[in-house]
Amino acid sequence: MKVTQSYSTVAAKVALVSMAVAMPLAVSAQGTVNVYGRLNAGVDNYSAKGAAIGAAGEIRGTTRVFDALSRIGFRGTEQLTSDLSAVFQIEGGFNVDNGGSTTQGGQPNPSASGIASRTTFVGLTSKTMGSLRFGRQDAYWITYPHAHTALSYTHVGPEFLVDAASGLVTIPLARQNNTIQYSSPKLNGFSTDINYSTGSESATAERDRAYAIKLHYDSGPFSVSYDYGRYDSLPAATGPVAGRDKIAHRVAGSYAYATGSRIGVLVTRLKNNNVAPIAAIAGGFVGVRAGDNLALTSVALNWEHTINQFQLFGGYGRTGDVESSCGCLRDTRSSIVTLGLRYNLSKRTGVYVDYGQIRNERNNYLDWTIGGLSSATGPGGSLTAASAGADPRIVGMGIMHSF
The answer to whether 340 and 154 are in contact (CB under 8 A) is yes
Cα-based distances in Å from 346 to 36, 68, 196, 403: 16, 20, 39, 12
Burial call 215-232: b when 16+ CB within 10 Å, e when fewer: bbbbeeeebbbebebbbb
How crowded is residue 303: how many other Cβ atoms within 10 Å of its Cβ?
20
In a domain, 117, yes or no: no
Burial call 344-380: b when 16+ CB within 10 Å, e when fewer: beeeeebebbbbbbbbbbbbbbbbbbbbbbbbbebeb
166, containing H or E segment: none
pLDDT category of residue 17 using cuts at 50, 70 and 90: very low
Q: What average pLDDT does range 160-188 have in this prediction? A: 88
Higher pLDDT, 151 or 214: 214
The answer to whether 109 and 94 are in contact (CB under 8 A) is no
* DSSP β-ladder status, 334-344 and 323-324: unpaired
Q: For residue range 56-75, list pLDDT tens digits in order.
A: 999 999 999 999 989 999 99
* Cα(77)–Cα(33) distance, integer angstroms: 7
Q: What average pLDDT does range 215-232 have in this prediction? A: 93
pLDDT category of residue 199 using cuts at 50, 70 and 90: confident
CATH number of the domain enclosing 226:
2.40.160.10
How many structural domains compose the chain? 1
In a domain, 208, yes or no: yes
In a domain, 301, yes or no: yes
344, containing H or E segment: strand 334-344
DSSP 8-state symbol, 153: I
* Cα(31)–Cα(337) distance, integer angstroms: 45
In a domain, 170, yes or no: yes
In a domain, 180, yes or no: yes
pLDDT greater than 60 at residue 25: no
Q: What average pLDDT does range 158-170 have in this prediction? A: 78
Q: What is the extent of the structural domain holding 171?
A: 34-69+126-402
In a domain, 120, yes or no: no
Query: What's the mean per-residue pLDDT of the chain?
Result: 86
Taking the CA atoms of residue 89, residue 95, residue 100 and residue 103 in that order, the dihedral angle to the nearest 10 degrees is -100
Cis bond upstream, residue 158 (ω within 30): no
* Cα(156)–Cα(264) distance, integer angstroms: 16
* Cα(189)–Cα(342) distance, integer angstroms: 31
Q: For residue range 91-119, list pLDDT tens digits in order.
A: 999 999 998 888 888 888 888 888 999 99
Question: Nearest Cα to 97, choosing from 88, 89, 105, 85?
Answer: 105
How crowded is residue 87: how many other Cβ atoms within 10 Å of its Cβ?
16
* Cα(51)–Cα(70) distance, integer angstroms: 31
How crowded is residue 143: how many other Cβ atoms within 10 Å of its Cβ?
16
Higher pLDDT, 232 or 152: 232
In a domain, 259, yes or no: yes
